[in-house]
A and B are shown apart, each in its own frame.
Chain A
Amino acid sequence: MTHQWHDAYRHASTPAHHLDPRSKLFAGLAFVGTVLCTRHWGSLQVAGYPVLLIAAIILARLSPLALSRRILGILPFALLMLLSAVFSRLSYAHVVEALLKAVLSVAAMALFSMTTPFPDLLRALEQCRVPRKLVMFLAFLYRYAAVLGKEVVRAERGWASRTFGRFWWREWSRAGHVLAALLIRSYERAERVYAAMLARGFSSRMPAMHLLHFGIGDLVFIGLSSGLLCLVRWGRF
Chain B
Amino acid sequence: MAVALEVRHLSFHYPDGTAALHDVSLRVEEGERVAVIGPNGAGKSTLFFHLNGTFRGEGEIIVRGRPLTDKTLYEVRRTVGLVFQDPNDQLFMPTVFEDVAFGPMNLGCSETDVRDRVLRALKQVGMEGSEALIPHHLSLGERKKVALASVLALEPAILAFDEPSSGLDPRSRRALIEFLKSLPQTILIATHDLDLVLDLCRRAVIIDAGRIVYEGKVPQIFDQESLLKSHGLEKPLKLQR
Residues of A within 8 A of B165 (CB): none
Partner of B134, one of A119, A192, A209, A211: A119
Contact of B106 with A203 in the complex, beta carbons under 8 Å: yes
Residues of A within 8 Å of B49, CB to CB, are 195
Return chain B residues, CB-CB under 8 Å to A139.
Answer: 93-94
Q: Which residues of B contact A122 (CB under 8 A)?
A: 94
Smallest CB-CB separation from A139: which chain B residue?
B94
Can you name 13 A-B pairs with beta carbons within 8 Å? A4-B137, A7-B134, A119-B95, A142-B94, A192-B84, A193-B89, A196-B84, A199-B54, A200-B106, A201-B154, A203-B74, A207-B102, A209-B98
Q: Residue of B at shortest CB range from A3?
A: B137
Which of B111, B135, B154 touches A200 (beta carbons < 8 Å)? B154
Q: Is B52 an interface residue (CB 8 A)?
A: yes
Please report whether the interface of chain A is mostly helix, strand, loop or mixed according to DSSP: helix
Contact B84 A143 (CB under 8 A): no
B90 lies within 8 A of chain A by Cβ? yes
Size of the A side of the interface (Cβ < 8 Å), in residues, is 33
Contact (Cβ within 8 A) B94 A201: no
Minimum-distance CB pairs A-B, first 3:
A201-B106, A207-B105, A119-B94
Do residues A196 and B92 form an inter-chain contact, with CB atoms below 8 A?
A: yes
- A146–B143 alpha-carbon span in the complex (Å): 14
> Which B residue sits closest to A203, measured CB to CB?
B106
Number of A-B contacts (CB under 8 A): 87
A4 cross-chain contacts in B, Cβ below 8 A: 136-137
The residues of A with any CB-CB pair to B shorter than 8 Å are 1-4, 7, 117-119, 122, 139-140, 142-144, 146-147, 189, 192-193, 195-203, 207-211
Distance A142 CA – B98 CA, assembled complex (angstroms): 14
Q: Given A201-B74, A201-B78, A207-B102, do A196 and B90 touch, yes or no (CB 8 Å)?
A: yes
Interface centre among B90, B107, B135 (most CB of A within 10 A): B90
B136 contacts across to A, CB distance below 8 A: 2, 4, 143, 146-147
Within 8 A of A (CB), among B123-157: 132, 134-139, 150-151, 154
Contact with A207, one of B78, B84, B106, B134 (Cβ below 8 angstroms): B106
Please indicate the chain B residues that have their CB under 8 angstroms from the CB of A146 in the complex.
136
Residue ID in chain B nearest A121 by CB atoms = B94
When C-beta atoms are compared, the residue in chain B nearest to A207 turns out to be B105
Q: Does the CB pair A1–B138 fall under 8 Å?
A: yes
* Known interface pairs A119-B134, A189-B89; A200-B103 also in contact (CB < 8 Å): yes
Given contacts A196-B92, A201-B77, 12 further A-B contacts (CB under 8 A): A2-B136, A118-B134, A119-B94, A119-B98, A143-B135, A144-B92, A195-B89, A198-B53, A199-B52, A201-B78, A201-B154, A210-B111
Interface pair A143/B106, CB less than 8 Å apart: no
